Structures are given as structure tokens and as C-alpha cells.
Structure 1
Amino acid sequence: MKEQRKIIQVRERVPLSKGIPLSIQHTFAMFSASVLVPWLFGINPAIVLLMNGIGTLIFILVTKGKSPAYLGSSFAFLSPTFLILANPNMGFRYALGGFVVTGLIFCLVAGIIKFVGTGWIDILLPPAAMGPIVALIGLELSGTAANNAGLILNDTYTSINPRFVAVFAITLLVAIFGQVLFKGFMAAISILISIIIGYVASLAFGLVDFSAVSEASVFAMPHFQTPVFNFSAIMIIIPASLVVISEHIGHQVVTSEIVGADLIKDPGLHRSLLGDGISTVLSGLFGSVPTTTYGENIGVMAITRVYSVWVIGGAAVFSILLAFIGKASALIQTIPSPVMGGVSFLLYGMIAASGLRLLVDKKVDYSRGRNLALSAVVFVTGLSGAFIQIGEVRLTGMCLATIVGMLLSLVFYVIDKAGLSNDQ
């Protein structure tokens, strides 16, 4: 019988010779998405790399080293922040004030969860709802991977570039077949190997531009800013908190499935949300963007079966170092989008598959009408493009599906308590 690939557990230490490439692999996975947010806001990515790294280390400390997660830049705050930046009487510092308050809300919700417990999750998010919600985390991101690869025509890509497709295909195929053919430690760093080979292919196809590297300074100091607390700006930012909290719960559930431990109970949802809240508060105080657990890094763990928080911590340290080494940061940014698109194609698919795995592991009975209806409504809500507008924040995709799933599950719970259900 074929021996299964060794699993490196959450609290297991890794030798430095293996830990460094494993940590670099996580750094590459999160880098492009994490620096995109500050780039869109027109701020220096160095401060974001610094605060993401510090935030991740705080998260690991708060969760007692039991919850492997990398905290990267949250995309949930793009729309409200753009609205603030468009106001001539405001600026990014006004958004920072909203970010600080958002982090405090996370901490408040964490305190409430500590007091009331997590039993409500089983009622509001039963497996028939949670499985599709977890799957939606990956499915919702899949379009981003295809767009990075240049496979979708839009304002950025008006035609299919054969060189982009070739690099995307090479990167993806190495990542896929690395899971089947690589052995030992090479299998654990298959994502890193696919990025390197994809980058070499990009060089061969002339897709790499080194001008930013030559212009970058060897060492750079991140640009710090202090927040301005303005009521109007804060009220614009706050609704996005619901998106991140929903995303956080989904990520903790899918990570639990991957590592084989109930992270909702130990170290507890209150600890993980508190860690994210503290990270977001500090980010807002020093001029960075809100943080959230990253699906890219969850996907890396699912593929490599390396769950060690020591490896995640190493990635956080690399992120901090990159914040001060201008040329190294600029060099990583030369990795063309089809390379990251090829890697993300597999990573996001792994997250979606984890949602289906949850349904199998929990033995969801689809002969029961309620389970079939619940999963169907969650999937369609998340994938249909339906949305609800609250102020300047649009609830759509996985976030809206989570809310709908929770409401429907609550109705089913009330029906059961009233003895009205026909499947008891």
C-alpha cells in the first residue's frame, strides 16, 4: 500500500533548512494580493507588508499557536475607502480612523462570543449551509485567478495573449503534477517550485520587466500615517465589518477541516477574531489597511499538508524584512500575473473542494428536503451575483450567502422547536 505524504502538524517545528523555503512559499502566495490593496489606495506597500507580518505574529500569539493563518490585506474595504478618497475634504487618514474602529468592533464581537460561546454556529450554520459557504470562498476567487492569467477579456485584457496562456499553463501543470509526481520535501514545496518554473518561463517569453528593481532603493523605510477620526468616514467603513466577520468564520471552518482540528472551539473563535481585531487596530493606527485571514495561504496548507504555525510565522518575518528591503520587494513584484494566476487556479480550487469535503465528512443527508434546499439556496445566492446595498457597502457573494444561510437555518430551527417539520 502506498505510503501517504507526511503531515506536518500545527505546532510541529520544522528544521530551518526546510522551514525557510516553506515560509517563502507562503510569502509568495500572499504577496500579490496583499500589495494590490495599498497600490489601489495609492500608498506605499511597504507599510502593509510590515503590518501584515506584525499582525500575523500577534494572531499566532493570541491563538496560542493553535490556529495557522496568515493575515493579509482585506479586499472588503475597497469600495468604502474609494468613496472616502473621492471626497476632496477627506483622505486616506480618514479611512484609517474607520479601520481602527472596525478592529475594535472585531474585538467587541470576540468578547461577546467568549461570553455566549459558539453553540449558535451549529444552529445558524449547520453543515448543509457551511459546506457550500466554504466552497464559495474558493469559487468566488476563481474568477480572479482566471483574470490574472489573462483568460478573461475585460478592460485590462482586450484579447487573449498566447504568451500569458503558455506561462499560466506551465505554472498550473507543474503545480498539479507536482502533487502526483514530487516526493518527499519537493512535494511540500511544490507551489514554490511551480512559481519558480513559471517565472523562468516568463523570462523566456519576455514578460518580466526589471525597471522597477533598478529604480528601487536597497533599503526603504515604510511610510507611517496617523488616523483621523471622523464620524461620517467611520460610518462609511463600519458596514464592511460584517463581510470580514463572515469571511473569518468561513476561513476558520475550512482551516479546521484541513488540519483536522476544531479551531472554532480550540483555540476558539473569540481568540482568532480577537487576533484579527488587534491586527486591524494596529494597522489603522500606523497607516496600513485592515487585515483578514488569507485564502491563498489556506490553499497552500491544503496542498502541501504543512500546517505548522512556525512556517506561517516565518512567512510573517519575511514580510517584515521585505518592508525594509526595497529591491527584494520590487523583485517579487516582477512576477507576472499569469504565474500567480496559475498557482491561484489550484489554490482556490482546493478551498472549494474543502467545502465539498466538509459535506462528505459530516455525512450530510440530502434525502432530507431541508438540507437540499439549504445548500441549493446558499450556492445560488453566492454565485448568482445578487446583492444587498447597505450604505456604500455591497453585500454579495459568500457574505450574502452566509447571511441568507444563517436566516434560513434559524427558520428551520424554529420550525423544529415548534414540532412542525415533516422530517423528524
Structure 2
Amino acid sequence: MEGRKIIQVEDKVPFRQLVPLSIQHMFAMFGASVLVPFIFGINPAIVLFMNGVGTLLFIVITKGKAPAYLGSSFAFLAPAGIVISEMGYQYALGGFVVVGFFGCVLALVIYKFGSEWIDIVLPPAAMGPVVALIGLELAGSAAGNAGLLDEKIDSRNVIVFMVTLGVAVFGNIVFRKFLSVIPILIAVIAGYVAAVCCGMVDFGQVAAASLLEMPNFQTPRFSIEAILIILPVLLVIASEHIGHQVVTSKIVGRDLLKDPGLHRSLLGDNLSTMLSGMIGSVPTTTYGENIGVMAVTKVYSVRVIAGAAVLSIICSFVGKLSMLIQTIPGPVIGGISFLLYGMIGASGIRILVDSQVDYGRSRNLTLTSVVFVTGLSGIAVKFGNIQLTGMVLACIVGMMLSLIFYILDKLKLTNDRDE
């Protein structure tokens, strides 16, 4: 049986393949990443610039061993929205800088004390469903982007969505040779052509855009009140980062928490967020869409991701190119996301299978059940202006339960512990 060739993390890719593979990674993250600056009311060009710079910085700090693309973080939307409405965007930038700084401090703490504690607080029975939730809780977002949750569904949305998803799904199965590693890119192109044929793309803004333009750089302002509103997000992004690194580890077949180390990846992520706040961009985070692309294509090369980062920086200065990419309709992004988010969900199930989790043990059945239900139930816990829900809340609940089980084990109070 002929298997698809895996392009490993350190593999060099010929230039003729590097360009389309890099474009594929950039397209995968583009739709979600530019949504955050739209919500904040800023020009996405500065975000494209910092996503590229942050990704290159991340690659350097992790010594080229952790394939990850940094995109706009959604975790900051609620608290930053409050700060922006009451004080202005520059004070939100100050909050981003401080969160990034304390995230770097957390990375240094993990460097000092190690990451072995993760095996205790997130055993496979808890980690599997937490990782699965990264993809599963975004399923509604994919359908929403595609316009399939609208009260009145537009037939054009359905057509474009089906073309995009169909090419991605069947291309992943039947494409051969180099085409087999760019099914996502081909699906985006096919979906875009379908959208043009359906009259869903307006090129007016592209024609009106400048050929070259500078991103809108801004400097932060600092307020204790704004910082205290945004700072608790650190708990959310740390949990999210650990989940992303675990699922990426499973996909590429390496323990990234040990090499290059959780401290390095966490430092790269948070240093990028701190720099973003300093120049006027939004916080960054490792991106589920790119994890999904790696799962589908088996292309893990850091050089490909670096190429995508460089393309993102170029787009931030080329007004017409940036605007052209922004014309990609929601059903195209939704069609691609449908597959990518599902792949992440499947990766969580894979953790359970590969770890041979024994569900004859009460603790494993309990952990998986509680984590899944917590994440999918819609329950939200609020601490001031911070809301914990979905995967993040499920991760925290799973960690607390696992730690309690560990303590009960030490006290010899459990009935299913390993002797």
C-alpha cells in the first residue's frame, strides 16, 4: 500500500514546492486571524505583519523544532472589548504587553521547575478529550462562517461550501504526488472560483486599494484598571497553548513539551504577544487551523511555516494583495475549517487510542466523561470580566480532578490505583 510521504519538521523543501505549501498555510489561518482586528476596529495589515514576525520569532526561540504558526488570539476578545469601549485601543495594547510579559515569566518558571507536572494534572484520559475539544467546540464557528446557521440559508453559500469541502475531502483521498500535499490550497482556489461564478466576490475594494501601504503602527498606553481587566486571560492562553503543543506533538510524532520544551514554545508565544502590544497589533497564539493543515497534508516542515510567515509580512505592505485575500468569502473559509477542525478532534481521540487508555478503570472513564461534558455543555464560569468556557474550562476542570485523584492515590484512598 502506497502511503503519502511525510515532510518532517527539519526537512528542506524545494522552492517550487515551498511557495504553494507556504500559501496553503497562510490561507488556512487567514480567515480567522483577520476577524479579530475587524472586531477591534483596526486595519488587519498590522496584524498580518505581526503574525509573520511573531511566527519567525517563535521558530527562532524553539530552535526550529516546533512547527507552529502564530495567528490572532480570540481569548482576549471579551476583556479587550471592555477596555477599548471605556478607554480606547491603546490601553488595550498596554494590557496585551503586560499579559505577554507575565507569560514570559511563566515560561521561565516552567524552565526552572520542568513540565513533568503535566503528566500528573493532564493524564491521557483527560488530555485526549481536551485536545479533541479544541476542534469540536469550533465546529459551530465553521458552520457559521459558511452561512449554514443563518435563519434563511443562501443557496450560493451552500454551493460554495460544498465545492470547497468536497475538493478538500476527496482531494485528500485521491490526489497523488505533489497535489496530495496541497489539497487545502486547491480546495480554497476551487471554492473561490465557485464564489466568483456565484457572484459573491466584489473586486471593487481591491481596485481601490493602494499598491503599497504601511501598516498602522501604534504605541501602548498603560492603566492599572485596564491591565487588571485583561491579565486573567493569561490562564486561558496558557491552557490553550499546552493543548496545542500536545496535539502538535501527536501529529508530528515528537514530544515537543520536552524538545524544544514547553518553556521555549510558551516564551515564543508570549514574547510575540508582548511585541504585538508594543506596535499596535493584537495578541498572538498558536493556531488550530495550521495544526489541522499538518494533520491533513503530513507537511510539518518549519521552513514551510517560515515561508508562510514571510508571505504574511509581504501581504501587510501590499495593499491590493492584502485586500484580494480579504475577498475570500465565508463559505470557502467555512468549508476548509469543517475538515481542519474535525482533524483536530480526531487527534484528541488518537491520544486515547495511542495511550491505550483503560476505561475499565473508574478514574479514566470519569475524567473523559467530565471533560467532554464540561467542554460541550456551554457552561461558562465568570471571574470579573473573564469568562471560562469550552476547552479552557474543561482543561481546568480536568487538571483539578486529576490532581485530586493523584493526592487520593498517595493517601491510598482510591480503589483503582496502580499498586
For 1:278, the equivalent position in structure 2 comes to 271
d(CA) in 1 for partners of 2:219, 2:163: 44
Q: TM-score, normalised by structure 2?
A: 0.99
Do structure 1's residue 44 and structure 2's residue 43 form an aligned pair? yes
For 1:135, the equivalent position in structure 2 comes to 132
- Aligned-residue offset at 1:388: 0.9
d(CA) in 2 for partners of 1:329, 1:360: 42
d(CA) in 1 for partners of 2:288, 2:248: 9
d(CA) in 1 for partners of 2:38, 2:143: 21
For 1:382, the equivalent position in structure 2 comes to 375
For 1:68, the equivalent position in structure 2 comes to 67
1:321-340 → structure 2 map (5 Å cutoff): 321-340=314-333
For 1:79, the equivalent position in structure 2 comes to 78
For 1:206, the equivalent position in structure 2 comes to 199
d(CA) in 1 for partners of 2:383, 2:211: 45
For 2:115, the equivalent position in structure 1 comes to 118
For 1:26, the equivalent position in structure 2 comes to 25
> Over residues 173-218 of structure 1, what are the superposed CA-to-partner deviations in whole Å (9 max), with x where a residue is unaligned?
1100011100011010000000001111111111111111011100
Which ranges of structure 2 fall in alignment gaps of 5 or more residues? none
- Aligned-residue offset at 1:421: 1.2
- Aligned-residue offset at 1:81: 1.1
1:149-188 → structure 2 map (5 Å cutoff): 149-153=146-150, 158-188=151-181
Q: Among 224, 233, 239, which residue is 1:240 paired with?
A: 233
Do structure 1's residue 56 and structure 2's residue 55 form an aligned pair? yes
Percent same amino acid among aligned pairs? 65
Do structure 1's residue 100 and structure 2's residue 97 form an aligned pair? yes
- Aligned-residue offset at 1:240: 1.1
d(CA) in 2 for partners of 1:409, 1:277: 27
Do structure 1's residue 250 and structure 2's residue 243 form an aligned pair? yes
- Aligned-residue offset at 1:387: 1.1
**Count of residues paired in the alignment:** 417
Q: TM-score, normalised by structure 1?
A: 0.98
- Aligned-residue offset at 1:82: 1.0
For 2:290, the equivalent position in structure 1 comes to 297
- Aligned-residue offset at 1:168: 0.3
d(CA) in 2 for partners of 1:296, 1:374: 27
Q: Among 220, 223, 231, which residue is 2:216 paired with?
A: 223
d(CA) in 2 for partners of 1:394, 1:78: 11
Paired amino acid for 1:295? G
d(CA) in 2 for partners of 1:341, 1:120: 37
d(CA) in 2 for partners of 1:187, 1:56: 25
d(CA) in 1 for partners of 2:369, 2:409: 20
> Over residues 261-292 of structure 1, what are the superposed CA-to-partner deviations in whole Å (9 max), with x where a residue is unaligned?
00000000000000011101110000001100
Paired amino acid for 1:130? M
> Over residues 117-168 of structure 1, what are the superposed CA-to-partner deviations in whole Å (9 max), with x where a residue is unaligned?
0110000000000000000000011111000111113xxxx31111101110
Q: Among 299, 308, 316, which residue is 2:309 paired with?
A: 316
d(CA) in 1 for partners of 2:127, 2:210: 47
* SS of alignment partner, residue 393 of structure 2: helix
d(CA) in 2 for partners of 1:316, 1:222: 16
* SS of alignment partner, residue 2 of structure 2: coil
* SS of alignment partner, residue 229 of structure 1: coil
d(CA) in 2 for partners of 1:85, 1:312: 32
- Aligned-residue offset at 1:355: 0.1
* SS of alignment partner, residue 138 of structure 2: helix
d(CA) in 2 for partners of 1:46, 1:162: 32
For 1:15, the equivalent position in structure 2 comes to 14
d(CA) in 2 for partners of 1:146, 1:367: 36
d(CA) in 1 for partners of 2:143, 2:41: 25
Paired amino acid for 2:147? G
Paired amino acid for 1:85? I
Deviates most, 28-37 or 257-266: 28-37
* SS of alignment partner, residue 134 of structure 1: helix
Q: Among 387, 409, 414, which residue is 2:407 paired with?
A: 414
- Aligned-residue offset at 1:61: 0.2
d(CA) in 2 for partners of 1:20, 1:138: 27
Do structure 1's residue 423 and structure 2's residue 416 form an aligned pair? yes
Once superposed, what is the RMSD of the aligned Cα atoms?
Answer: 0.6
Stretches of 4+ moved more than 4 A in 1? none
